[in-house]
Structure 1
Amino acid sequence: MYLSKITLEPSSQAAREILRLGPKGSYGSHQLLWTLFSDQDNRNFLFREELGVAGLPLFYTLSQTPPQTDSPVFAVQTKQFAPSLKAGDRLAYRLRANPTVAKKNDSGKSARHDVLMNAKRAAKTGKEKTGKEKTADQISQLMYEAAKGWLADEHRQRSWGLTLDFLPDASNYRQHRSLKPNGREIKYSSIDYEGVLTVTDAAKFLQRYAQGFGRAKAFGCGLMMLRKLAY
């Protein structure tokens, strides 16, 4: 695997690309980053977008092949990434994820729903049943508790080869809208998690790490940033 830090060059071409990203949102960022992996037919990278210097986009990517470094648009710093981990290792993590839950609709078909909005709807349904209306702060708290519970789900932790040392901090909940070239609108949500985890199965964890955590990986979710902690 290769871990890369990617910034935009101070050039007129880069400025044009920023303007072009506009309504495309994270989908546009994904398409732009893909130019660094033009030798690949299918996406083989995860990415995370942050605000860099002067409000310009800053990207981190995790890829199976190294990105091209001769781009007129990007300045690329890349290194091979092969962490040596074992059960019991503790890691500080940051993760932008798209927490969803499968629910059946009226026709009996299963569909994915935003975990936080699902909690919000449940709070309103509770009001209809009890006649007691929750405050906006109470509803917000329930939404964030649901988001934390999604990441802390025991089955999910086992399947990912980790345990959370404590419930994560959760912040920066956002609902996104991106446009594809054909004009189709894509809607998804994201939330930022931060905390400490312990590796329980290194092989399973690294396999999941390479694949990304959760959904919406083409839109900047799923790349976990790690820092090893002392025992």
Structure 2
Amino acid sequence: MFLSKVSFQSSDQARLMLAGLGNKGVYSSHQALWQLFTNDEARSFLFREEQDGQGRPVFYVQSENEPEVDSSCFKVQSKRFEPKLYSGQRLSFSLRANPTVTVKNFQGKNQRHDVMMHAKRNAKHDGVTDPEEVKALMEQAAQQWLAAPDRLQDWGITLDALPFIKSYQQHRSRKSSDTTIQFSSVDYEGVLTVQDPDRFIGKLKQGVGKSKALGCGLILIKPI
């Protein structure tokens, strides 16, 4: 695997691309990053979009293949990423995820809902009106989503404590003139302990949760 930091060149092509990103949102970021993997038949990368000190997009990209660097739009800094982990190892982590919960609608059909908005609706239904209490219940729901025992077992890890909720954001992104994508993301930070190295490395490669093509699912880790 490769881990790359991707930013924009100071070129006319880059400025045009930046203007397009602003108009369509994170879906266009995904489409733009495809230009670094023109030989890949299917998406083989995960990414997270951040901002630099000037408010311009910066992308952290984890990919199976090394990104192409001959670009008039992008500056690419890449390094090989082949983590050697062991059982009992503690790592700090950062994750942007799209936590969802499946509930039945009035017709009895399953629908996915944003975990935090679902908690907010439940709080309202239960008569909770204090904004700080509602916020605490929303964050608790997001923490419990990540800390669910079955999920952690599937990932091959345990958490040293409930993760910190750094931010929550709702996104609207235009896929085409008549199609809009809506989803939410939660930024988590915390400390984990590796229990099953092979299983966890597999999850690092695959990414976790929904909306991987929209900038979610990439786990960034650092030894403690």
Alignment TM-score > 0.5, same fold: yes
- Rounded Cα–Cα distance in structure 1 between residues aligned with 2:106 and 2:100: 18
How much does 1:28 deviate? Answer: 0.6
Q: What is aligned with 2:16? A: 16
| Aligned residue pairs, count | 224
Q: What is aligned with 1:184? A: 179
- The TM-score with structure 1 as length reference comes to 0.95
- Rounded Cα–Cα distance in structure 1 between residues aligned with 2:42 and 2:20: 23
For 2:124, what is the secondary structure of its paired residue?
A: helix
Which residue identity does 1:33 align to in structure 2? L
- Identify which range, 70-79 or 49-58, moves more after superposition: 49-58
Q: CA RMSD in A?
A: 1.0
- Rounded Cα–Cα distance in structure 2 between residues aligned with 1:84 and 1:195: 20
Which residue identity does 1:86 align to in structure 2? Y
The reply to whether residue 157 of structure 1 matches residue 168 of structure 2 is: no
Q: What is aligned with 1:174? A: 169
- Which residue, out of 184, 205, 211, partners 1:210? 205
How much does 1:54 deviate? Answer: 1.4
- The TM-score with structure 2 as length reference comes to 0.97
Structure 2's unaligned 5+ residue stretches are: none
How much does 1:182 deviate? Answer: 4.4
Q: What is aligned with 2:94? A: 94
Q: What is aligned with 2:84? A: 84
Q: What is aligned with 2:217? A: 222
Q: What is aligned with 1:48? A: 48
The reply to whether residue 137 of structure 1 matches residue 137 of structure 2 is: no
How much does 1:23 deviate? Answer: 2.6
Residue deviations 1:164-199 (CA, integer Å, cap 9, x gap): 000110021110000013430000000110010000
Residue deviations 1:65-110 (CA, integer Å, cap 9, x gap): 1110101100111111101001111000011111001111122221
- Rounded Cα–Cα distance in structure 2 between residues aligned with 1:174 and 1:93: 19
Residue deviations 1:138-170 (CA, integer Å, cap 9, x gap): 111100110111111111000000000001100
- Rounded Cα–Cα distance in structure 1 between residues aligned with 2:10 and 2:199: 41
Residue deviations 1:25-80 (CA, integer Å, cap 9, x gap): 11010000011111112111000111114111110101111110101100111111
Give the fraction of aligned pairs with identical amino acids, expressed as a percent: 48
- Rounded Cα–Cα distance in structure 2 between residues aligned with 1:163 and 1:77: 32
- Rounded Cα–Cα distance in structure 2 between residues aligned with 1:22 and 1:90: 38
- Rounded Cα–Cα distance in structure 1 between residues aligned with 2:53 and 2:178: 31
For 1:139, what is the secondary structure of its paired residue?
A: helix
Residue deviations 1:103-139 (CA, integer Å, cap 9, x gap): 1112222111100000011111112xxxxx4211111
For 2:25, what is the secondary structure of its paired residue?
A: helix
Instruction: Map 1:48-67 to 2 at 5 A.
Output: 48-67=48-67
Which residue identity does 2:39 align to in structure 1? D
